Structure formats: structure tokens, C-alpha cells
């Protein structure tokens, strides 16, 4: 086998990953000893809620297992329209468009709203889907330091391009902190730019009744603000959404390639998300509950401040230490997440823990006990 052959190249890549402690392995979470989950994003426990599962099953029976075609061909179903109208009304935006995933929603909104005469100003800690969206957009991209409002303003003010987009997450998926959305929206208005804020970790967790950080700041009616989201986290289902003015929705339907050339959202996912939304509307205390649990976990991890949402981020000395902490936690019955380069733009490996509204006080107490044992710098 020559050293330049395809198998040799794969083997060399694998060896390199292994040496750096960066090999990723898939593990079936429904097998083996059940672990208390502090790694997943089902913040409100709705993925297994009987009403949500029943909503998914009913939609599959009514509409079939798949949407069968792109939304523009024959894949738009009345359940898509109902989901879009309900999501828009819930979040306070004038309209919504649903996608087969949050990843596609982000790819779509940036690709369709940018052109060669656009500057895209992207926070350094933006999700991979937004990074890939920038590549797809063929626009000029400036990456600004995390939550650095002055750097965003400078980039907008000095731009040569006619148009500009500012990309942020409302609650950052790995760092767990919040973006200064009110200031950024004001900057967008001042500099004739559009703020695109990903609410993947905000919806269901922050804002009034879980309506998100944009709603909390009264930004959902502003023409220069566009939201994106996912149905796969707080809503316990699958799929993505873009929230904005009807003209934004209409533009995406006509120009967003990841929307146009993709089969419509599966009916079961739409039905599950709709049912989840009804659960959230009927139980507006759920977001408060998840944030209270996040604050308790933060104390156990020795973090000074409670997180802005449900995500806790604990920096670790390196990827091996992070993996060792994950293994120790698993040995004590706890599943925690870990992010290592290249998923962390600053090269810092981190433990990522998520709070869940449905964890019982006994489960929370177990989690706190185990975290006190394994956290660097905290005593047992
Ligand atoms: C911030 C952020 N945006 C977008 C996505 C993509 O969402 P989905 O899983 O629905 O594709 C994720 C999921 O990991 C995320 O964390």
C-alpha cells in the first residue's frame, strides 16, 4: 500500500487524531447502564413527553412518513403552514419558515441574504452551521472577537460593501453566555445591516415563557432582526426555522438553495414540534425551572455566575483531561458533554453540561454530588 494511497491517508489522519486526543467515537446512548443526561439539548424533557410523541405519531398517520418532495414541488403540507404560523405567533415574529434542520435554516438564511456585495460580520464562537453558511454565501467575512460590540461596529462602519449581516447566537451553544442582542440590533439599524441571531439555545429556555432572547428585548418586530432556531432542542423534535418579516420568508422561499433543493420537513417532526410548543405554552414555568437547575449546577461546578440559559461551560486544561472527566462522570452515572478542538475556535477544551427542567430533585442532587467530585479546582 503506497503512502499516498487513500487507505494510507485515512490511517495517517486517524493516527494523528489519536495522538492529539481528538478522536471522536459514536456511542449508542440507549444501550448499557442508563446515565443521567447532562449532555443533551432536550432542555424541557419533551422528546419523550407522551403528548409530543402522540403529536408525531398522529402527524405520521395523517400525512405519511415523509413529505415526499421539496416544499416548492409538492412537499408543502398544511401541518408545515400550521407550525410556521404557530411558531411566528409564539415568538412574536411576523412570519416563520420551517426547514428539515436548524443547520439548513442557518445555511439558508445567510446564503440567501448575502451576495458578493455583502460583508458578513461573524462572532468568533458562532455555530459550525453559520461558519459553513458564510462559505456558501461567497460574501466577504470578518470574524470579530466573542461578544466584542466595538469590533462589530468598527467592521460595519469601515465596510466597502453595500450590505452587511451580523451573525450571533443568542445563547452560545458551547460557552453558554448571551449575546448583547439589544446593542447589536441598534448597531444593525444604525449601519443599515441585518442582525441574524440564532435562537437554537434560547427558545424554550429564556425570554417570557421561553419565547427567546430576541422577544425578551422586544426585537422581534424590527425589520433589521432575523431569528433562526431549531426544533431539535427545547421542542424535542427535529427541524429548523427562520423567523422574520414576510418579505424575508418570501425571499428565502425563492433564493435559499438549502430550502429549495431539500425535501420538506418530515410530518412526524412537524407534528411533534407543534405538540411540544403547545406543552410549552401550557406550562410557561418550564423555562424558569430549567434556568434554576442550571444555576444549581453552576454552583457545583465552581462557576461564579449562573449561566444565561441552560448551558454550562467549564474550561479544562486539555482534551485528555476533558475526556477523563467525562469518563469519571459516566462511572458515577452521569453523562456530560465535552468539546475539543476543532469544535472550539479558541483551542480550549471544555466540558459542556446542560440543565434539564424535568430532572427530579434527587437527580439534581446526584448530579451536584458527582460534579463536585470531578471539577478541577472544586473540593469534594
Ligand atoms: C447554535 C446551533 N445552531 C444550529 C444548530 C443546528 O440545529 P439542528 O440540530 O436542528 O440541525 C445547532 C445544533 O447543534 C446549534 O447548537
* DSSP code of residue 118: E
Verify cis geometry, omega within 30 degrees of 0, for the bond prior to 342.
yes
Ligand 1 centroid, distance to 198 Cα (angstroms) = 9
Stretch 62-67: mean pLDDT, rounded?
98
Per-residue model confidence as pLDDT tens digits over 170-183: 999 999 999 999 99
Spacing of C-alpha 354 from chain mean position: 13
Ligand 1 cavity residues, CB under 6 Å: 101-103, 106, 127, 129, 169, 173, 198, 200-201, 230, 232, 240
- In 3D space, the residue among 87, 41, 91, 83 whose CA is nearest the CA of residue 59 turns out to be 83
Interatomic CA distance for residues 137 and 114, integer angstroms: 6
Query: Is residue 105 within 8 Å of residue 150, measured between CB atoms?
Result: no
Interatomic CA distance for residues 185 and 179, integer angstroms: 11
- 208 is written with which cell numbers? 417570557
- 54 is written with which cell numbers? 402522540
Rg (CA), the chain: 21
Q: Which of 102, 124, 310 to mutate to test the pocket of ligand 1 (most atoms within 8 A of CB)?
A: 102
Ligand 1 centroid, distance to 47 Cα (angstroms) = 16
> How high is the pLDDT of residue 377?
57
> How high is the pLDDT of residue 1?
59
Pairing assessment for the beta strands 118-123 and 163-169 based on DSSP bridges: parallel
Interatomic CA distance for residues 203 and 287, integer angstroms: 9
Q: pLDDT band at residue 299, thresholds of 50, 70 and 90?
A: confident
Stretch 308-325: mean pLDDT, rounded?
92
Instruction: Please compute, for residue 226, the number of CA atoms within 13 A of its CA located in the half-sphere on the CB side.
Output: 27
Stretch 208-232: mean pLDDT, rounded?
98
Amino acid at each position: 500500500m503506497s503512502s499516498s494511497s487513500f487507505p494510507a491517508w485515512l490511517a495517517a489522519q486517524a493516527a494523528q487524531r489519536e495522538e492529539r486526543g481528538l478522536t471522536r467515537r459514536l456511542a449508542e446512548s440507549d444501550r448499557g447502564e442508563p446515565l443521567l443526561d447532562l449532555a443533551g439539548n432536550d432542555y424541557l424533557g419533551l422528546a419523550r413527553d407522551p403528548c409530543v410523541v402522540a403529536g408525531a405519531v398522529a402527524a405520521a398517520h395523517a400525512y405519511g412518513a415523509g413529505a415526499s418532495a421539496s416544499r416548492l414541488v409538492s412537499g408543502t403540507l398544511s401541518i408545515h403552514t400550521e407550525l410556521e404560523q404557530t411558531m411566528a405567533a409564539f415568538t412574536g415574529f411576523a412570519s416563520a419558515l420551517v426547514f428539515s434542520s436548524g443547520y439548513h435554516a442557518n445555511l439558508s438564511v445567510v446564503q440567501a441574504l448575502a451576495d458578493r456585495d455583502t460583508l458578513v460580520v461573524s462572532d468568533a464562537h458562532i455555530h459550525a452551521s453559520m461558519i459553513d453558511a458564510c462559505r456558501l454565501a461567497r460574501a466577504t467575512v470578518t470574524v470579530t472577537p466573542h461578544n466584542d460590540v466595538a469590533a462589530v461596529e468598527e467592521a460595519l462602519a469601515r465596510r466597502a460593501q453595500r450590505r452587511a449581516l451580523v451573525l450571533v447566537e443568542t445563547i452560545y451553544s458551547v460557552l453558554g453566555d448571551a449575546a448583547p442582542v439589544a446593542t447589536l440590533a441598534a448597531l444593525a439599524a444604525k449601519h443599515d445591516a441585518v442582525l441574524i441571531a440564532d435562537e437554537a439555545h434560547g427558545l424554550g429556555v429564556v425570554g417570557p415563557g421561553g419565547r427567546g432572547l430576541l422577544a425578551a428585548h422586544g426585537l422581534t418586530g424590527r425589520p433589521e432582526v432575523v431569528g433562526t432556531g431549531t426544533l431539535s432542542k427545547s421542542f424535542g423534535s427535529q427541524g429548523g426555522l427562520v423567523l422574520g418579516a414576510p418579505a424575508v420568508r418570501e425571499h428565502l422561499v425563492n433564493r435559499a438553495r438549502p430550502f429549495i433543493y431539500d425535501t420538506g420537513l418530515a410530518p412526524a417532526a412537524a407534528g411533534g414540534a407543534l405538540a411540544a410548543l403547545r406543552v410549552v405554552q401550557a406550562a410557561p414555568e418550564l423555562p424558569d425551572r430549567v434556568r434554576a437547575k442550571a444555576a444549581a449546577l453552576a454552583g457545583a461546578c465552581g462557576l461564579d455566575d449562573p449561566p444565561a440559559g441552560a448551558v454550562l461551560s467549564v474550561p479544562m486544561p486539555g482534551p485528555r483531561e476533558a475526556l477523563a472527566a467525562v469518563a469519571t462522570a459516566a462511572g458515577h452515572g452521569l453523562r456530560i458533554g465535552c468539546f475539543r478542538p476543532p469544535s472550539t475556535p479558541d483551542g480550549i477544551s471544555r466540558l459542556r453540561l446542560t440543565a434539564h427542567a424535568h430532572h427530579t430533585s434527587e437527580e439534581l442532587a446526584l448530579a451536584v454530588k458527582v460534579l463536585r467530585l470531578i471539577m478541577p479546582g472544586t473540593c469534594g
